[in-house]
Structure 1
Amino acid sequence: MRKVYESDRRIWAKQLLSYRVSLLKCDRHQRIFLICRSLASSTLVAILSSCSFQPDSVTLSSGTAGGFYNRVGEQISNSTKTTVGLKVSNLDSQGSYENLQRLLERKVDFALVQLDVASEAMRQGKVQAVAILANEYLQMITRKDSGLQVFADLQGKRVATGTPGSGIRFTTSQLIKADKLQIQEDAADFERAFQKLNTRQIDAIAYVGSVGASQKLRQQFINDPNLKIIPIQKSLINNLTILDPGSYQSATLPMGTYTSRPPIPEQEISTISTATVLVTRPDMDKNKVGLVTWSIISTARTYSQFYPELQTTEASESLRKGLFYIHPAAQKVFEEGDPRAAFIRYWQSNSDLQAGVFILVSTSVVGLLIGQWRKQSSQKLLATTVNRINELKNLLTENPQEALKGIEDLRQEHRLRFIDGAVTTEIYEQLQHKTHIFADECRLILERQRKKFVMDTLLLLDEWQATLQTDPDVALQKLGQIKQDYRDMLLSDQVDIEAYVELMQLTLMSVMTLMPKSSQG
């Protein structure tokens, strides 16, 4: 991978050198385009294909309103908003299983799940972890007078195993299967389950959650001191942790976790735990994954209410402890830190990039200076052209042909300067507009003169015809004078060659028409 990056840097540096020449030859709009394109290319290479824009929102499937997962989701939303400016839409759900299904069906971007619920999807490559946010303990709650002492005593009993779609239901079913128990499952929710336990409609309640994090559970123990937690036998714990070490760990619920007097539990309770994991899909936008990961790491202490270890351990280690399938973008943030600082790190370690940016900046400055010079030069040319047109206007009355020749020469000069790049497109269009108007004015005056010459010729021919009838010798002299006048006008550019030929043809036609009549007379 490093070789690929180095190759990209060399290619990018060569492109910058070619831009240096191009920038000096193109007009203002082309130069701006090349500068923007080269800056975009450098940014893409620098952050190694990460997104160039800041995402504004993502969706998260958490848990029931006010519940443990929902509170974790709210904390994630607060973290991302305050640290990276990313909005997290926290969606309610029934728990881990529903969250995972939403993620797999691409209905959400992230999901909070128990690790045991997501393990199979992780092994299949369908989801990847972002961070561990808590350790959830299985707690089997019953009444002190129920006669139940350990998990194995649940054989044939009525047990509230959690609502459909919840992680509690999934974990409880895994333990029941592993211990080969036959029980009567009840799908009551949290509040209803405790009501049934108090009225002896069920024998036990399964709960999976962070130690002491559930205020609702704590309140149940305070309100009813006859509740107790029964342990899981060591043989079952060992079986689960050996068969699925990525999902379950042996754990101990400390004495007095929920109340100190009387202590609940009354002694340490052996159980299992599974992690609360924020997961996403492998194809999730790397930039978003990186930002979410960094927001959690940088505010890790605020998650200690769910994950007490974060108070005393290094955050980046605790947040990924025991995870096998971590999203690459999250792993990179754990190792390198804030993803928004990636360009700074890349800059510091990349001399090619530094040299390239120096070339780009210096070339851009030179290009802008040249552009400014061209602009000033063009403005000066525009003013000079206006003065030249005013001078040519003085010739319009006496010699419009010379004025037209002068303006056409000026237009050709502008055209050549534009081709050489000495005149901007904007100024060239203004010059063409001004000279075109004056050239049209010259042509209009010339056309009027031509028509006047034709009318004058007709009058002369009428006069010559009358003279031919009375004095042929004088008529011939006048004919010679008419021809000489035409030549003088042609030589003085008062008429063009086309008008001269037309006048001569008109004169010749008159002579051919009238001479026979004169001879007959």
Structure 2
Amino acid sequence: MSEVSGRQVRAKRLFDLPVVFVKSIRRPRGIFLTFSCLASSILVPILSSCSFQPTSVTLSSGPAGGYYNRMAEQISNSTETTVGIKIRNLDSRGSEENLERLFKRQVDFALVQLDVANQAMQQGKVQAVAVVANEYVQIITIKKSGLQTFADIQGKRVAVGTPGSGIRFTTSQLINADKLTIQKDDSDLNAAFQKLNAGQVDALAYVGSLIASKNIRQNFVNNPNLKVLPIEPELINNLTILNPDSYQRAILPSGTYTSRPPIPDKQIPTLSTATVLVTRPDTDQEKVKQVTWSILSTARTYSQFYPELQNGKASELLRKGLFYVHPAAEEVFEEGDPSGVIIRYWKNNPDLQSGVFILVTTSFLGLMIQQWRRRSSQKMLNITNSRISQLKNLLAESPQQALRAIEDLSQEHRLIFIDGIVTTEVYEQLQQKTQTFANECRLQLEQQRKKFVMDTLLLVDEWQATLQTNPEVALQNLGQLKQHYRDMLLADQVDIEAYIELMELTLISIMTLMPRKNDFPQAF
């Protein structure tokens, strides 16, 4: 026990290393690993959810050049400039086709009238991302048609929009609610205006944003004889009561399309429904968050479609009147930029703050220990090389002493490695150096022993010859021979067994070669 303690003291003095401090650090190192695992289990899911960045999404919009198509281009511009997502804008016939594509998983998002999407929302098939405009129902005719209100289209020829469009869906809702029978025309908007001017239809239906209806505005400018039919209050009441999540009361302001002469020339009561960006409930939440944030953060650019966004609170207007909002979109409306989730999570989680503090502290401490161990290891290698060089000078003179010294050094290395002062790699290098030199010492010892044995055998042979020819002289030399044996034993040139054998060999020689009357054995 005292030998080990002495070697530990020598090791400390040899390398000037605070072993006690290292032992105290080894426990925090375990804590470091524990908190590394803990922090990883908390931070990795957060970081991975925040770092994942979808590169592109698909959006079904509307006819090329139309209002929905331009809206999709605006959304694409927002996502690309704010979150780096490219949107592939797919043309379509309108809301109903867009919704169908969403059901069939052909697209990620779709622009749809709220009344078109309402049933699917109630069934949980789709959820809203944001309101991007309000669309007004407008039944347009010419002043000479004799039509005064919506109810007057009974039995008339009316262009109700192309199949698959939101215009056709909304117009059908109004006609069915008012129990009207009409002659439906499926022409698109441009063809419908041409037919109206040519007298081939009595009226046409349009549902869209007032400010974004460039085509409608141009037709009113070019033809002052156009007018908008008011919808009866009873029909408005009926639809808003039965479908409060689809329709709202609305007023088409006087002078909406031209100021002189004002068109319309008075306020027109009507209905409105929202233009909604929708998606499936199972759409990747990160995609929904990024798209929602791109719209929210650039809300004023949508005032060309949704005038209230110019001065109103975007987070409220973009979800106004919505009952079925996607949870990821709702989170963005409530919390803001999704990339700030880590900061918010950090502020609201003191346990995480403590864990990260310990993680950072122990990481820094671990780096310091690692650097310290590197310096210590290099110092130890240099000192070991120096010690071996010194012992090589002793090897020729006293291989046994050199062997003891190198074994002591090897034991010091072992104790320092156990204390964690050096790495396994450095310890193996040190062991290789000490073992190599120890083998040299043993080889030198073996050669020295062989020489001593040969010299001793020659000495015994010479003594035996002297014993035969001159017993008296041999007896005088016997003491010198015995002392030679003892010197060999003390110098570790022979072990105790070899020493006894030599003594026995000498005794046998005396007994064999000398006459029994002589008393040499007693003297021996």
TM-score bucket (shorter structure): 0.7 to 0.9
Q: Contact 1:399–1:494 (CA<8 Å) still a contact in 2?
A: no
What residue identity is the alignment partner of 1:302?
T
2:68 matched to which residue of 1?
A: 69
| Cα deviation digits, residues 255-299 of structure 1 (max 9, x gap) | 221222333333332221111112233344444434433433333
Query: CA separation in 2, counterparts of 1:67 and 1:22?
Result: 75
- Residues matched between the structures, number: 480
Which protein has the larger Cα radius of gyration, Structure 1 or Structure 2?
A: 2
Query: CA separation in 1, counterparts of 2:300 and 2:400?
Result: 90
Shift of 1:318: 1.9
Q: TM-score, normalised by structure 1?
A: 0.74
Matching residue within 436, 443, 458 for 1:440: 436
Structure 1 residue 59 and structure 2 residue 60: aligned? no
Structure 1 residue 214 and structure 2 residue 210: aligned? no
Query: CA separation in 1, counterparts of 2:23 and 2:396?
Result: 48
Query: CA separation in 2, counterparts of 1:114 and 1:490?
Result: 110
Shift of 1:134: 0.8
Shift of 1:179: 2.8
Q: Contact 1:76–1:88 (CA<8 Å) still a contact in 2?
A: no
Structure 1 residue 172 and structure 2 residue 171: aligned? yes
Tell me the SS of whatever aligns to 1:270.
Answer: strand
My pick for the range that moved more, 283-292 or 227-236, is 283-292
Query: CA separation in 1, counterparts of 2:462 and 2:229?
Result: 145
Q: Contact 2:114–2:276 (CA<8 Å) still a contact in 1?
A: yes
What residue identity is the alignment partner of 1:439?
Q
2:519 matched to which residue of 1?
A: none
My pick for the range that moved more, 243-252 or 289-298, is 289-298
After TM superposition, list the pairs within 5 Å mapping 1:233-252 onto structure 2.
233-252=232-251
Shift of 1:211: 1.0
Query: CA separation in 2, counterparts of 1:110 and 1:62?
Result: 7
Q: Contact 1:231–1:269 (CA<8 Å) still a contact in 2?
A: yes
Tell me the SS of whatever aligns to 1:51.
Answer: helix
| Cα deviation digits, residues 387-435 of structure 1 (max 9, x gap) | 2232333344455565455444434433333333222x3xx31341243
2:227 matched to which residue of 1?
A: 228
2:279 matched to which residue of 1?
A: 280
Query: CA separation in 1, counterparts of 2:460 and 2:23?
Result: 73
Q: Contact 1:297–1:316 (CA<8 Å) still a contact in 2?
A: yes
Q: Contact 1:44–1:52 (CA<8 Å) still a contact in 2?
A: no
The unaligned stretches of length 5 or more in structure 2 are: 1-21, 475-479, 513-524
Q: TM-score, normalised by structure 2?
A: 0.74
After TM superposition, list the pairs within 5 Å mapping 1:9-24 onto structure 2.
24=25
1:256 matched to which residue of 2?
A: 255
My pick for the range that moved more, 440-449 or 144-153, is 440-449
1:97 matched to which residue of 2?
A: 96
Distance 1:169 1:413, change over 3 A: farther
| Cα deviation digits, residues 302-356 of structure 1 (max 9, x gap) | 2211111223433222222221122333334333444444444555555555555
Distance 1:403 1:74, change over 3 A: farther
Q: Contact 2:56–2:86 (CA<8 Å) still a contact in 1?
A: yes
Shift of 1:245: 0.7
Query: CA separation in 1, counterparts of 2:228 and 2:221?
Result: 14
Distance 1:352 1:26, change over 3 A: closer
Shift of 1:235: 2.7
Tell me the SS of whatever aligns to 1:421.
Answer: coil
Structure 1 residue 188 and structure 2 residue 184: aligned? no
Shift of 1:42: 5.1
Identity level (%): 58
Shift of 1:228: 3.1
2:520 matched to which residue of 1?
A: none
Shift of 1:80: 3.7
Q: Contact 1:162–1:169 (CA<8 Å) still a contact in 2?
A: yes
Structure 1 residue 429 and structure 2 residue 442: aligned? no
Shift of 1:233: 2.8
Query: CA separation in 2, counterparts of 1:124 and 1:68?
Result: 28
Query: CA separation in 2, counterparts of 1:494 and 1:155?
Result: 131
My pick for the range that moved more, 228-237 or 187-196, is 187-196
Tell me the SS of whatever aligns to 1:122.
Answer: helix
Q: Contact 1:103–1:110 (CA<8 Å) still a contact in 2?
A: yes
The unaligned stretches of length 5 or more in structure 1 are: 1-20, 516-521
Tell me the SS of whatever aligns to 1:304.
Answer: helix
Tell me the SS of whatever aligns to 2:378.
Answer: helix
1:301 matched to which residue of 2?
A: 300
Distance 1:205 1:458, change over 3 A: farther
Tell me the SS of whatever aligns to 2:323.
Answer: coil
Q: Contact 2:289–2:332 (CA<8 Å) still a contact in 1?
A: yes
What residue identity is the alignment partner of 1:430?
V
Distance 1:126 1:393, change over 3 A: farther
